[in-house]
Amino acid sequence: MKRRAFTAGLFLIVFCVALVAAMAARGQRKQSQTLPVADYTVSGPYTHKNLTIFLLHGAGQSQSRAPLTLQEAMKRKLVVVRETGDVNRLTIQNRSSQDVFVQAGDIVKGGQQDRALALDLIVPPKSGRIPIDAFCVEQGRWSRRGNEAVAAFSTSDNSLASKDLKIAAKAGRSQGEVWANVGKAQEKLAANLSVEGQARMGYGRGSGTGIGPGRGISLGGGTTTDSGSIAGRAPQASLSAPINQANRIETVDGVAASGQKFNDLAGLASVTDRASPSSLQLTLENKLVKDTANDYVKNLSSIINGKRDVIGFVFAINGQLNSADVYSSNALFAKLWPKMLEASAVEANAELKADEKFQPVETGVVKTFLRESQSGKAETKRVTARTAVVKCETEKNLYFETRDRRRSDGWVHRNYLKK
């Protein structure tokens, strides 16, 4: 009897050890797996000036109700994004009875400084306050701006409008690189939207466009110390997945310059606001920037009309592939399309070269880009109990896939970036 019990116990121990080993191996495979290549039908191209768009058609991943976007949830005051005292970390609270989808690159306006959210996030209903990583896209302010709330953020109507900005935030995770690329984006827009630039690009300065009241080049803000921090502003604290803040901040006459070339400050006045010249959000709200972006939007927004199977798009600027975004359903894509198209239009406007001819992108090149982006080894990171993000990187491309852990790790968003 004792021998039988001993044998049974030994068998149980061996079984448990084998089970643990199998689970560990399975987890290891999950971290290093190669993702199956997504199969989309590609239509297009649809081109206006230097911006070319291809639509991606597919069955979609989710048949359930589409989540609220951050933009609509904040507009309806169903979500609150708050300051924490840490530049690179905020909290988000969902007060609604629906999921809310936050997309990396969403800009929240207000608080102590405008921020771009660093990661995709699925925020469950009645969530309580959830931490979310963020990057400052406005340098030199750590105080109330005008009549805006300082403890929380008011809107999320725009997103990062530069591939380099997205890469700096999502892959480089560098605050210094984000600031530098905000400056570059402003410089490019200013160059194309100056009086001379508009004439060169074929834009007219009609009634109501141009530099309006309140535009200027005053670079208000704190001064920098030897360590690169800004007086009068909270320190740049590290996150659990560290944000690189080693980049030294350049200064002009004691004012944080964020890597911008300020040898011709007057040129930036056309796309910046005196309330905070370094603010990317205020640049995106600039009337001249919006008017010229709307030229693209009016010509391209209707390309999705009547196409109920479109779940994403790829775009190219000046004949060069830029990036792609794909969503789990047509409903979620349709909600995000206006915001994503506007960001693409702003970037195209910044990169517009009137005298340069470019070869059109072919459909085969688009398919190769999508396939190769997913060919790297997959690394999975748990963001919250609900959200996981898979990252693949190759020599030429980056790929991010956001998964819903509550729905059997079904994907919600796929982002492809050309380096």
Note the pLDDT of residue 227.
33
Question: Which of 214 and 201 is assigned the larger pLDDT?
Answer: 201
Does some domain include residue 405?
no
Q: What is the pLDDT of residues 170-203, one digit of tens each?
A: 999 999 999 999 999 999 999 998 755 565 555 5
Does some domain include residue 400?
no
Does some domain include residue 411?
no
317, two tokens: 């600027």
Question: Which of 242 and 136 is assigned the larger pLDDT?
Answer: 136
First to last CA, the chain: 68
Note the pLDDT of residue 238.
34
Q: What is the DSSP letter of 172?
A: I
Highest-confidence segment of 140-149, 152-161, 193-202: 152-161
Does some domain include residue 338?
yes
Does some domain include residue 409?
no
Does some domain include residue 390?
no
Q: What residues make up the domain containing 209?
A: 41-354+361-367
Q: How far apart are CA 249 and CA 263, in angstroms?
A: 16
Q: How confident is the model at residue 16 (pLDDT cuts 50, 70, 90)?
A: very low
Tell me the average pLDDT across 49-55.
97
DSSP-based three-state secondary structure for 23: helix
- Domain total of the chain: 1
Does some domain include residue 31?
no
Question: Which of 208 and 126 is assigned the larger pLDDT?
Answer: 126
Mean pLDDT, the chain, as a whole number? 81
Q: How far apart are CA 4 and CA 336, in angstroms?
A: 65
Q: How far apart are CA 358 and CA 215, in angstroms?
A: 35
Does some domain include residue 74?
yes
27, two tokens: 């987890």
Q: How far apart are CA 174 and CA 247, in angstroms?
A: 8
Note the pLDDT of residue 168.
96
